[in-house]
Amino acid sequence: MIITYIILAAGKGSNLQPLTLKYAKTSYKLDEDTTVLQRMVRSIRKTDKNAEIVVVVGYKADDVRAELDGENVKFVMNPFYEVTNSISSVWFARDYLERENVAIVHGDVVFSDEIVRSYLTVPTDRPYVLVDSSYSCPGAYNTVVKDSQVLVMSKKLEKYSAKYCCMTKLDPVSSRLLKEEIDSMINSNMYDQFFEDGLVQMIMFHDFQLFYEDIAGKKWSEVDTVNDLLTAQEIHREN
């Protein structure tokens, strides 16, 4: 089965300015020959030779395209990246949600090879997200889970079970349901939301079952701070 990977790399990384004034944060170097985004693409390709990889670009789009020259990826442009959030990036890539197996992953994340092999590049027959129950940080995009399912995800949770790990896996039915939900939200001018908020809307109002896998103890880093980058570089050296 061919898996389609939608990598979200359009954002400005405003929380890291001035470090992102000249470079997209996905272009941060993990070593002399590898950026954060290059590692994601190459890690997928190393395990999944038949991968269909789609990168949504916006900020510094020409630089990001040049960075991935020769990596056998497709590009989708979010021309409104300055005034939108990730829901708009997924909306511009919405045709790819009609594939049979879809993974949506943030472009500023570094996963260990173990996570890539065990989750990202494995076909799924149910919708699920990765979470990390060992991570505790108010204001992060956190989750509340019960039994095997996600009850809610938000940056505004006062009590939560785990941090969302920036990766969503979708089977054929759930990917098409998400496409419909995102269409509805964009038509309601909700273009400044996270795409994951579409999943929450589906849970709350459409009895959607979203599952989770807990990767506590496994190595990953979402590059939001300089310390995150140092952690990501350490993960990269070890793999």
- The pLDDT value recorded for residue 14 is 54
Is pLDDT above 80 for 54?
Answer: yes
Cα–Cα distance, 74 to 56 (Å, whole number): 9
Burial environment of residue 171 by CB neighbours within 10 A (0 to 12, 13 to 18, 19 or more): middle
Per-residue pLDDT band for 156 (boundaries 50, 70, 90) equals very high
Helix then strand then coil, in percent of the chain rounded to 5, is 35, 25, 40
Is pLDDT above 80 for 72?
Answer: yes
Residues in the chain: 239
Instruction: Dump pLDDT digits (tens) for 183-234.
Output: 999 999 999 999 999 999 999 999 999 999 999 999 999 998 888 989 999 9
**101 contacts 29 by C-beta, under 8 angstroms:** no
Is pLDDT above 90 for 161?
Answer: yes
Q: What is the mean pLDDT of residues 159-171?
A: 97
Neighbours of 93 (CB within 10 A): 27
Instruction: Dump pLDDT digits (tens) for 99-149.
Output: 999 999 999 999 999 999 999 999 999 999 999 999 878 889 999 999 999
**Which ranges of 24-141 would DSSP assign to H, the alpha helix?**
36-47, 61-67, 86-92, 113-115
- The pLDDT value recorded for residue 25 is 84
Residue 166: left if φ>0, alpha if ψ -120 to 50, beta else—which one?
left
Is pLDDT above 60 for 24?
Answer: yes
Parallel, antiparallel or unpaired: strands 142-146 and 162-170: antiparallel
Cα–Cα distance, 30 to 227 (Å, whole number): 13
- Mean pLDDT (the chain) is 94
Q: Tell which wins on pLDDT, 86 or 18.
A: 86
- The pLDDT value recorded for residue 37 is 97
- The pLDDT value recorded for residue 68 is 97
- Residues in contact with 186: Cβ distance below 8 Å, sequence separation at least 6, in sequence order: 87, 88, 91
